[in-house]
């Protein structure tokens, strides 16, 4: 199985992960709209980016800043 196929399957497995906004401790508990749990996170001032499932707390894919990047 190719890398692209593995990543496709991994992301597809999380397509239905949803959460209620406020479920992760947001101060706005009145706001209960359901939305996707997939998010892009930026770590160490852009040194690392990750696509994560905040419902499952699983890092799906992460990338370090390429050499020569800003």
Which candidate, 33, 12, 9, places its Cα nearest to that of 21?
A: 33
**Residue 58 to residue 61: CA distance in whole angstroms:** 9
**Residue 47 to residue 66: CA distance in whole angstroms:** 9
Strands 34-36 and 18-20: antiparallel
**Residue 8 to residue 13: CA distance in whole angstroms:** 9
The 3-state DSSP class for residue 66 equals coil
Please tell me the predicted confidence (pLDDT) of residue 40.
86
- Per-residue pLDDT of 6-52, as tens digits, reads 888 887 787 777 766 555 555 555 445 566 778 888 888 888 889 88
Q: Can you give the pTM of this predicted structure?
A: 0.58
């Amino acid at each position: 199985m190719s890398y692209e196929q593995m990543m496709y399957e991994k992301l597809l497995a999380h397509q239905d992960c949803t959460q209620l906004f406020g479920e992760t401790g947001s101060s706005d508990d009145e706001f209960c709209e359901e939305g996707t749990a997939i998010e892009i996170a930026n770590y160490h001032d852009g040194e690392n980016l990750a696509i994560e499932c905040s419902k499952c707390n699983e890092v799906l894919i992460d990338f370090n800043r390429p050499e020569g990047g800003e």
